[in-house]
Amino acid sequence: METRRDVFQAIADPTRRAILVLIASQAMTPNALAEHFNTTRQAVSKHLQILTECDLIHQKHQGREIYYQLEIEKMKDIDKWLEQFRKIWETKFNQLDKVLSILKNK
């Protein structure tokens, strides 16, 4: 039985997060990506494979080159999941603001 990689395990790695940031604005080849890291091209390729398996990026062939692009829809799914926590944080900050305001006025 093959286990599917979890998207949150994929983005837990700082190198993979850096790759996502690099390709967010433009598609890049593995060699171009590898230039940004103090590691081998093979290590970068392994990170690209994991990100691809999690559908966070996809390949686009142009001639003999392979370019990797960000999958915006998958990133939106992550953002939707995080939204529940954003609401909790905002509520907590608003409560803290009220307490601080009361303390300041005493």
Give 39-98 pLDDT, tens digit per residue.
899 999 999 999 999 999 999 999 999 999 999 888 888 888 889 898 888 888 888 888
The pTM score is 0.76
The pLDDT assigned to 31 comes to: 94
The residue written with tokens 């915006």 in the block is 72
The H or E element spanning position 60 is: strand 57-62
In CATH, the number for domain 1-70 is 1.10.10.10
Question: 56 versus 102: which is more confidently predicted?
Answer: 56
The pLDDT assigned to 1 comes to: 46
Separation of CA 98 from chain center: 34
Q: How far are the Cα atoms of 19, 30, 46, 69, 78 from residue 41, in angstroms, in the given order?
A: 13, 7, 9, 17, 28
- The alpha carbons of the chain give a radius of gyration, in whole angstroms, of 20
